[in-house]
Amino acid sequence: MARRKYLLGFSPARVGEPITYMIVKEFDLMVNILRAEIDERGGRLLLEIEGKPHKITSGVKYLKEKGVEVKELNEYVSKEEERCTHCGMCVSICPADAFEMDKKTYKVHFKSDKCIACGLCLDACPPNAMKLRIW
């Protein structure tokens, strides 16, 4: 089982359709709505989706085919380099190994492609260098 977070963007034409219900039913996924900002003019849903990885992939493909804008949440996690003190705190807590300490320079590098947007580093980073900007 895998768990991923996505930000979905709905156009006004898609608002009335039971699209999220369909991905639960058709792809055997569990969906948790973390945040919603949507009305008849369209809007956004922040979802946590849990299920078999290939089913999540199929569900996301279905959403895109239906005209929903889908972005994985890790695309919104970033590191403000000027704030980072390279303390290494995030290296030890990140469950996805998304940080690497350069053994020569002792600089910490963020690998966003590995991030699963769990949010742990956002709370743990002493100078607040890790950011999640979605809304």
Q: Does 127 bind ligand SF4 (CB under 6 A)?
A: yes
* SS3 (DSSP) at 57: helix
Write out the two tokens for 6: 């996505």
Interface segment toward ligand SF4; rule CB under 6 A; list 5-13, 30-38, 43-51, 116-124: 116-124
Q: Which of 96, 100, 131, 134 binds ligand SF4 (CB under 6 A)?
A: 96
Nearest to 73 by CA among 37, 44, 30: 44
Neighbouring CB atoms inside 10 A of 63's CB total 23
From 29-37, 42-50, 62-70, 85-93, span contacting ligand SF4 (CB under 6 A): 85-93
Contact 8, 68 (CB under 8 A): yes
Binding site for ligand SF4 (CB under 6 A): 77, 79, 84-90, 93-96, 98, 108, 115-121, 125-127, 129-130
